[in-house]
Amino acid sequence: MKYELVLLDIETQRDFFCRGGRCYKNGATDVASRIYDLFKWVRAHDIPVMSTVLRLRPGQISTLCPTPHCIEGTKGERKLSRTILSRHIDFGIRNSTDLPVDIFTQYRQVIFEQRCPDILAHARPERLISQLEAGTFVICGAGLAEGVVEAAVGLRNRGFAVIVASDAVLDVGGDAPMARLRAEVKGALFLTTRRIITTYPAAKRRKRRPRTRRRRRAYSVPK
């Protein structure tokens, strides 16, 4: 499978981005609005989307936030409704390698549920990424110093170009400046959402010129 651009949104869930969420921080709603801009962009240009959703067991705490969050069955673990495309498939929490053939021809968004923020620690997303030919991943979501940087570095190690939407990524803890430096050293670019949307016309479908039928010359059959 070959795509010029793929959007990877990481943990765009209510506990991080909605007021009252267990890990909500000031400015998270502004980050969410930039994420919504990216989803308008992918809808307009039919760009495939990979998404991760963190689902933790009761009592489990991830490295993203010291407060219990994204507990399965709670409102906080729900994905933001505006980050769900109509043609999507959610594989749930089961960690297997089963995937439909050429999945992005059937669905425009693939959602993987996981117990830890590192997308490449799970079998299904790892397999999907291994089936893609080198293109460019645009990353947004929660956890700059965790899932975002791990995804950026892992994708660069696999030969993909990586662009992190700098104003569409939420820092929920950890050493964010060091995480950004680590990703940049690996070759990841940090660009604003507006810059991404306006600078990458490769995502736009090129209008094909209608083919003109050539008139066949009439040849006389020699007697």
In a domain, 117, yes or no: yes
pLDDT digits (tens, 9 = 90+) for 149-187: 999 999 999 999 999 999 999 998 878 999 999 999 999
Q: How many folded domains does the chain comprise?
A: 1
Contacts of 152 (CB under 8 A, 6+ apart): 139, 162, 164, 183, 186, 188
Question: For the range 99-105, what are the long-range contacts, defined as Cβ-Cβ under 8 Å and sequence gap of 24 or more?
Answer: 99/124, 99/127, 99/128, 99/131, 102/1, 103/1, 103/128, 104/1, 104/3, 104/48
Q: Which two tokens stand for residue 13?
A: 């869930």
What DSSP designation does 13 have?
B
Radius of gyration of the chain (CA): 21
Which residue would you say has higher pLDDT here, 64 or 7?
7
pLDDT at 53 over 50: yes
DSSP-based three-state secondary structure for 184: helix
> How many helices and strands (H and E) does the chain possess?
6, 7
Domain extent, residue 123, equals 5-203
The enclosing domain of 46 has a CATH number of 3.40.50.850
Confidence at 206, pLDDT banded by 50, 70, 90: very low
In a domain, 210, yes or no: no
Cross-strand bridge partners of residue 109 = 49, 88
Q: pTM, whole model, 2 decimals?
A: 0.87
Nearest to 155 by CA among 72, 50, 74, 66: 50
Q: Residue 39, exposed/middle/buried by CB under 10 A (0-12, 13-18, 19+)?
A: buried
In a domain, 153, yes or no: yes
Determine the pLDDT at residue 95: 63
